[in-house]
Structure 1
Amino acid sequence: MFWWISLLQAEYRDIFNQIFEYLEAPMPLYIRDDATAELVAKLAKERGLTKQDAVRLAVQAELDRTREAKPLRERLREWREANPLPPPTGLKADKAFFDDLSGEGE
């Protein structure tokens, strides 16, 4: 084998790696633990899912469970911070206002 072939292979490998780093392509999940892989396969079989969907389902369920562990008051506070009320307009929202909106105030 020519010595320059290995240099070209290394250069192409570096370019390939840079492209994927640039795209930030997600790496596939590889489960090394046999017991965990068996649990994923069992869940996938029972639910009629692919293993990927079984992992997604399990992770989403755990995230939901973790989120639910937060007190409701804390979750509402975070939601209100992310979604503030609009500023007051000074208009009255009385019966006449709603009648006018629905066309009954004529």
Structure 2
Amino acid sequence: MGRVLLFVGAVLLVSMQGAAARCVEEDAMGSDTLRGYVEGIQTALADHGFKPGPADGKTGPRTRSAIKAYQKKARLAVDGCVSQALIDHLNFAEPKVYAR
């Protein structure tokens, strides 16, 4: 019986960690709003020398990787999430952050 409870606890812990890792702001956006944010972020990342792929509004692996690279270079929390804070940082932060 003790092993079953331990297993259930481990499953709950993994489930909670997965939920915490999700991008909360993305979940709250409508699909058209999210697409617009992603296109803007992809364009800005490309302008800064990061390589998010085409500005198609889709958050694929190249876009997430470029977001994480930018966040790391800018010394932001690295989560790969699309957010208003990220697009604001890309557009308004001084000094600008560029890829190598």
Q: What's the TM-score, normalizing by structure 1?
A: 0.28
> Counting helix residues as a fraction of each chain, which structure ranks higher?
1
- With a CA cutoff of 8 Å and minimum separation of 6, indicate the structure with the bigger relative contact order: 2
> Which is higher, the Rg of structure 1 or of structure 2?
1
Q: What's the TM-score, normalizing by structure 2?
A: 0.29
